[in-house]
Amino acid sequence: MHLLVCGGTGCKASASDALEDKLTKELEEKSLQDEVQVVKTGCFGFCEKGPIVKVLPDNTFYTQVKPEDAKTIIEEHVIKGRKVERLLYLDPETKMHVTDSKHMGFYKKQIRVALRNCGFINPESIEEAIARDGYAALAKVLTEMTPDQAIQEILDSGLRGRGGGGFPTGLKWKLTAKEKADQKYVVCNADEGDPGAFMDRSILEGDPHSVIEAMAINGYCTGATKGLIYIRAEYPLAITRLKIAIDQAREFGLLGNDILGLGFDFDLEMRYGAGAFVCGEETALIHSMEGERGEPTFKPPFPSVEGYLKKPTNVNNVETYANIPVIFLKGANWFNKIGTEKSKGTKVFALAGKINNVGLIEVPMGTTLREVIYEIGGGIKDGKKFKAVQTGGPSGGCLTEKHLDTPIDFDNLIAVGSMMGSGGMIVMDEDDCMVSMAKFYLEFTVEESCGKCAPCRIGNKRLHEQLELITKGIGSKADLEKLRDLCNVIKDTSLCGLGQTSPNPVLSTIDNFYDEYLAHVEDQKCPAGVCKDLMQYVISHDECVGCTACARVCPVGAIAGERKGPHTIDSAICIKCGACIEKCKFNAISIQ
Amino acid sequence: MAKVKSLADLQKLKADLQTKVDLREKGEGAENLVQIKVAMATCGIASGAKQVMEFFMDELEKRNIEAVVTQTGCMGYCYAEPTVEIKLPNQDPVVFGDVDIKKADEIIEKYVKTGELVNGIIPQNYNTIDE
């Protein structure tokens, strides 16, 4: 018998360590330590009801277990085999105790659709992919459906593009399908560029065949016989595994001429990007593949009409493709039951920042931020206070406490001033300065702007300069309004998605953290204590014993004082390196 | 490998491979076969998954334990890389997190040899498409 005790940070905060000790001691007292082991586990994703104890092999799931409950569990459950009713999970709907975790499906907030094979199959083995239904959807579509029927299935599923824009995938296919041309192309956009997002890389590294299969289906539906995968050269492992997968698919006759003897030809090629953010925009991506500069061009003409080499081209993102085979195998009606009214299916998010369970998760659309951050994510690191979460990377916005219960889907996120983007979620706590955060993202966009249109090239540069000044405490309330105006102009007049969304981090932080901006410009203070120029190192004369350690370590000679007398820091000289604080044994130096 | 020439071919191939995988997982005829999957995506490799995988392969052989060690993609638990899934015959798979060489050794000695669980289990907290 095993007693699994949750050792996730959330449960630790509610005394799971003490509980574990208590259980071990109780077992020793009863001389049961050889028959029953206490084992510490990672997070169960149910921190709200922690600490959790799971008993194996009967799968009993106890919630909110206190150290003093240890005795009861051992005496009742372990010795007498009777479950401790009061510690069982109470189903909020039926008000019944749930006796084993196998019947607690509702507590599993995640469902893995796009990630179905990641972490299960050997990505370098087509056999394992086929054993888990790889290429079965392609076979089904080729034998049972006309291209129109297959497109209709995708339309019915309600699948929307996972790259960020959320454009209906079926409609995109339909637009390319209706064009007449001697050659059409389907493209996989694997130019994942948002800082903090890595779901596309994980899918390509973990399940490359799902993308290859979906591209072949896309080819059949749109009438394209050639597919191109545009992937950034910084993803060497994903590239290697894709190449292996493509070779295997060719060897098995699942790519190439006359696939499955059904007269359908389709083959794939790889194209490497140099890692420019703007090349995630489909027209820039297409130009880059053609060997031109990676610059966007005005739409229309849309790629479905005039794309790669001026031929009709359908571009979809990696995660979008990974969903396609499941839709055909399970049916559009299975898929469109997951999610919200206008956003169907699941979304993969990359959780990063000040969160305990950093990682990849996949949740149904409509899951709230609170569920993602506090239950699946295990809450904020080191017990700090949640401040904001940035979704959609540099194009998105930050969401705060008041948005925690907003169901996440394409439209809701836009309504609250952010966006889905590719699914990066960077969590920030009370120690993060929102002005600095906005500045960080602007730095990224300034660097990544291709420079073609003035609003993005010049406007973002000016925005960044303005933010730089604010972090130094220079500016006024009126400047904040100017900042807002400039943001709106850039949004309205930029050529492509990069510029149209780049001011979002600034706008959303001004909206949600106006006081913090004001504190910088009016009081010359950074409430989070991040902006160096607004901090002052001060020596408390009550604590200082005059040991001179700080004065000796100061690299710029900013500290003066008599030996055995109180010392003082000259703020005009101090570079805020923090060396003095580290050296002081008397905690006499503080930041104000 | 001969080409898959028709739908029937693909279905037959799937059935064959499925049986092969099932056989391996259910351990029929190979009661002592332990299956070990090491998450080898960029994140895992960066945290040392390659060394851990080599350790499993070398040590299991040295210690005369019949096992299949394979690589797989990202399991999603970046906070606990390297992650390793162990499937003992006739049992549900168990995922362990933060598996360094020391932990790998403990896993072999305790879990693989005696079925005794060790600290660091990551509970499955998601549904699959078949549930």
Contact A495, A452 (CB under 8 A): yes
pLDDT of residue A367: 95
Q: Does residue B6 belong to the interface with chain A, where contact is any CB pair within 8 Å?
A: yes
- Give the 3-state secondary structure of residue A461: helix
Q: What is the mean pLDDT of residues A447-459?
A: 94
**A353 and A427 in contact (C-beta within 8 Å)?**
yes
Residue A579's H or E segment, with its range, is helix A579-583
> Which residue from B116, B122, B131 is facing A41, i.e. has the nearest CB?
B122
Residue A5 bridge partners (DSSP): A40, A53
Q: Which two tokens stand for residue A225?
A: 């016989």
List the alpha helices (DSSP H) in A183-281.
199-206, 208-222, 236-251
Give the pLDDT confidence score for residue B1 in this predicted structure. 56
Give the separation between CA A464 and CA A573, rounded to whole angstroms: 26
In terms of C-beta distances under 8 Å and separation of at least 24 residues, what long-range contacts does A59-62 make, across chains too? A59/A100, A59/A101, A59/A102, A60/A88, A60/A99, A60/A100, A60/A101, A61/A88, A61/A89, A61/A98, A61/A100, A61/A101, A61/A104, A62/A87, A62/A88, A62/A89
Q: Is A2 on the interface with B (CB under 8 A)?
A: yes
pLDDT value, residue A107: 59
Question: SS3 of A305, please?
Answer: coil
Average pLDDT rounded to a whole number, residues A337-347 = 95
pLDDT digits (tens, 9 = 90+) for B69-125: 999 999 989 889 999 999 998 888 899 999 999 999 999 999 999 988 898 898 887
The CATH code of the domain at A434-522 is 1.20.1440.230
Is the pLDDT at A496 greater than 70? The verdict is yes
Terminal alpha carbon distance of chain A: 55
Q: Is A127 close to B20, i.e. CB distance below 8 A?
A: yes
Predicted pLDDT of residue B25: 55
Measured between beta carbons, the chain A residues lying within 8 angstroms of B7 are 139, 142-143, 260, 262
The stretch A142-160 carries a mean pLDDT of 97
- ipTM (interface pTM): 0.86
Domain spans of chain A?
2-106, 126-333, 346-429, 434-522, 536-591
Q: How many residue pairs from chains A and B have C-beta atoms closer than 8 A? A: 177
Q: Across chain A, what does the average pLDDT equal? A: 91
Report CB contact under 8 Å: A360, B78: yes
How wide is the angle at C-alpha A340 spanned by C-alphas A174 and A186, nearest 5°? 25
Using the predicted structure, report yes or no on whether residue A271 has a pLDDT greater than 90.
yes
Q: What is the pLDDT of residue A417?
A: 84
**Assigned architecture for domain A2-106:** 3-Layer(aba) Sandwich (3.40)
Residue with tokens 């630790």: A12
- Residues B25-69 have pLDDT tens digits of 554 544 568 899 999 999 899 999 999 999 999 999 999 998 889
Nearest to A207 among B18, B73, B126 (CB): B73
Write out the two tokens for A190. 């694997």
- Selected residues 61-80 of chain B with any CB under 8 Å from a CB in chain A: 70-80
**Can you tell me the distance from the alpha carbon of A458 to that of A446, in angstroms, rounded to the nearest whole number?**
9
Are B123 and A127 an interchain contact pair (Cβ–Cβ within 8 Å)? no
- What CATH number has the domain spanning A126-333? 3.40.50.11540
Q: Which of A126, A113, A117, A359 is nearest to A241 (CA)?
A: A126
Better pLDDT: A360 or A9: A360
The residue type at A90:
L
The correct answer on CATH 3.10.20.600 for the domain covering A346-429 is yes
Lowest mean pLDDT among A97-101, A361-365, B16-20: A97-101
* CA gap A388, A400 in Å, rounded: 4
Is B58's Cβ below 8 Å from some Cβ in A? no
| pLDDT for res A142 | 96
- CATH assignment, B32-122: 3.40.30.10
H runs (alpha helix) in A410-539: 410-415, 434-448, 454, 460-471, 477-493, 497-501, 504-512, 514-522
Band of residue A474 on the pLDDT scale cut at 50, 70, 90: very high
Q: Where does A536-591 sit in CATH, by number?
A: 3.30.70.20
Instruction: Name the residue among A87, A44, A46 with its Cα closest to residue A68.
Output: A87
Residues of B in contact with A20 (CB under 8 A): none
- Do the first three CATH levels of A2-106 and A536-591 match, i.e. the same topology? no
Q: What are phi and psi of A568, to 5 degrees?
A: -140, 145
Nearest neighbour of B126 by CB, restricted to A111, A139, A205: A111
Cα A325 to Cα A127, A264, B73: the distances in Å are 17, 18, 19
CA atoms within 13 A on the CB side of B58: 9
pLDDT over 70 at A92, yes or no:
no
Higher pLDDT, A417 or A347: A347
8 Å CB contact between A189 and A163: yes
User: In angstroms, how far is CA A380 from the centroid of its own chain?
Assistant: 15
3-class DSSP state for residue A334?
A: helix
B92 CA: distance to closest CA in chain A (Å)? 11
Better-scored residue on pLDDT, A81 or A91: A81
CB count within 10 Å of CB A148 equals 12
Cα A188 versus chain centre, distance: 20
Q: Taking 70 as the threshold, does the pLDDT of residue B23 lie above it?
A: no
